[in-house]
Structure 1
């Protein structure tokens, strides 16, 4: 592109008409607006300084104005700059190293074996489950129901986990107790009839006192007590990951979700926040869908992140583009937290300079700074005609590695910390304890057992790492 084309791009139509007498007409330079905009997106251009006089100050000022417009967000509410920022004291909570990660003093004093760690996690809900199960069993079997004890309930939980270790999800229960082909430990723990009775009668609430307006009411009390207790046993590190988990279940219930990217595709969707390194589950929330006769909820991802991060501070949250917004970054900043995450390209807070990337070369990085939050936004081209956009309020500045792919440090950090929940789901799903059941509360509770077993393992190995 030569300077004559640059003049045609910068001046408006009136200025072009006034300058038309001074410019030479040639078919080579007769372009429409679309062609000029395409040529203006080229990375570089050549010019012959001997044929064209230097650009005037007026033209240079016009170029600066156009650049400023491109550095504003699409909605015009956020101003970006290319100038790196200097962090002040009000951002000193970032990169704090005084976060003590690991089991709490309460957990350390109570755990001396893997079993004690597992029992500690389930201790707030065991008695309630036992009471509700005995209540339903007495109503169902009347005088034929034998009062269940806490030892029998724990034995039932153990057999569920052991069946998951044997990967016997598709195996008939009678085969597990079979004398010839089964496992002796099942027969020695309890009878098959007792196992089937508990499987049928286990309940998590009193149906006669159930809140019909709450979709999660059959297990609400147990789930909330369990998630609240998880926070008291382990302190997560400086980086946490938020993502969804899909518990496989195809039965009938009002909040079944279809996620085609997941192997199970249909199931119960749970939002989870976990430690990015140890994969300890810190908090969880079941997605119940839209409430009947109400408007569609806006900014679900933002609300979920704030709910899961309640009580946390001085942490960084890594999440995908379903959650990441500029408004979420502002809300987390109020909690003295940072965020690193991919951001959807249709967000109004993005400047056009980060979206004009289709003609950029592979491994090219375009970036801007946001002074108010001291955030960095960038677009990176990993493949031809593909680019990813990312927002970070965690990093101090932009650095490009010296490898062939020239990855920015934001991309490297995101790839390192984004897989916390996915790894957790993989570890839990490998030895899933869920049997083939027709009741969704039981499917959800089996997933709680699996996560409890993983959390118990993390707590125990951290205490007895030697």
Structure 2
């Protein structure tokens, strides 16, 4: 991970920034030594290992204490060096930061990470989009997606205009609808007495379904540009096929959230760009596992 246009193994200041006043570190530690690729990968490896063994909330002193933890931490790098990484790790140049971009403190490395994903894995015809730490517009997330795909998203994203925009790009979509969306007919949001009843509404290339899943609760509403018929399963709950298909595709995001939460690499920090970086490491680990399993 060298500077752009360079083969140097040192990490460039345009990739991961470290405070430039290295000689005035206020701690009693020695002067800063520039980071190289091996050390960076070692640092990331220790972060992942702590998450894998659910040690991410243990103190660093305990992790580096071979009487309480694995000798791998101390054998990889000193605790002082690890602390230096965390203290001086930066992802942009603060003086040249774009004040209009809320993601600017980590924008560059985040986009590098995103660009790597389609190089290593070709998705199937069904994709799922959900929010996590940072919200994005779905049309931006799907810029590199090929035609003929179906995108599934949650109520945060579902909108008729977005669905129409995806149709123009030859992509269909399925999503749960927030009750506050202005395009919703009022009658579809009303709580009904008949349990497991479904109301369907058709408009041009879209279908809406309102399903009364629970008593005295508002119905579940979904929008689809993929489904064309008012079909339900022939069982006691008479579940609409649209909701069944949504549950099947949305499950993947729930699994990822569970993996990221169970084996979290995040540590407590008041620096939100570092939290985003931790999240990227966790997602990269899951993606690596997916690539390995798909071979």
Q: Select the residue among 92, 111, 136 that pairs with 2:20.
A: 136
2:78: which partner in 1? 191
1:451 aligns with 2:283: yes
Secondary structure at the aligned position of 2:237 is classed as coil
CA distance in 2, matches of 1:355, 1:199: 49
Secondary structure at the aligned position of 2:92 is classed as coil
1:412: which partner in 2? 244
Kindly tell me: are residues 356 and 151 of structure 1, through their superposed partners in 2, closer, same or farther at Cα, counting changes over 3 Å?
Answer: closer
2:134: which partner in 1? 270
Q: How does 1:48-447 map to 2 (within 5 A)?
A: 127-128=11-12, 132-133=16-17, 136=20, 138=22, 140-141=24-25, 144-245=31-132, 269-271=133-135, 285=136, 304-312=137-145, 313-351=147-185, 354-355=188-189, 358-359=192-193, 361-370=194-203, 372-373=204-205, 375-386=206-217, 387-447=219-279
Is 2:14–2:92's contact at 8 Å kept on the other side of the alignment? Answer: no
CA distance in 2, matches of 1:208, 1:129: 13
Deviation per residue, 1:303-350 (Å, 9 max, x gap): x11111113221112122332222222111101111112223444433
CA distance in 2, matches of 1:203, 1:197: 12
**TM-score with structure 2 setting the length:** 0.85
CA distance in 2, matches of 1:318, 1:396: 16
Is 2:17–2:93's contact at 8 Å kept on the other side of the alignment? Answer: no
1:179 is displaced (CA, Å) by 3.0
Is 1:376–1:395's contact at 8 Å kept on the other side of the alignment? Answer: yes
**TM-score with structure 1 setting the length:** 0.56
Secondary structure at the aligned position of 2:166 is classed as helix
State the structure with bigger RCO (CA 8 A, min sep 6), 1 or 2: 1
1:244 is displaced (CA, Å) by 1.3
Deviation per residue, 1:269-323 (Å, 9 max, x gap): 324xxxxxxxxxxxxx4xxxxxxxxxxxxxxxxxx11111113221112122332
5+ long unaligned stretches in structure 1: 1-124, 246-268, 272-284, 286-303
Task: State the 4+ residue runs in structure 1 displaced beyond 4 angstroms.
Answer: 129-135, 139-143
CA distance in 2, matches of 1:353, 1:433: 46
1:442 is displaced (CA, Å) by 1.4
CA distance in 2, matches of 1:367, 1:149: 59
CA distance in 2, matches of 1:186, 1:402: 57
Secondary structure at the aligned position of 2:90 is classed as coil
2:5: which partner in 1? none
Secondary structure at the aligned position of 2:248 is classed as helix
Tell me how many residue pairs correspond in the alignment.
282
1:447 is displaced (CA, Å) by 0.9
Is 2:212–2:220's contact at 8 Å kept on the other side of the alignment? Answer: yes
CA distance in 2, matches of 1:131, 1:325: 36
Is 1:132–1:202's contact at 8 Å kept on the other side of the alignment? Answer: yes
CA distance in 1, matches of 2:242, 2:148: 19
Is 1:167–1:431's contact at 8 Å kept on the other side of the alignment? Answer: yes
CA distance in 1, matches of 2:164, 2:33: 57
Kindly tell me: are residues 398 and 208 of structure 1, through their superposed partners in 2, closer, same or farther at Cα, counting changes over 3 Å?
Answer: same
1:133 is displaced (CA, Å) by 4.8
- Range with greater deviation from structure 2 (318-327 or 332-341): 318-327
CA distance in 1, matches of 2:77, 2:179: 57
CA distance in 2, matches of 1:205, 1:212: 12
1:137 is displaced (CA, Å) by 6.6
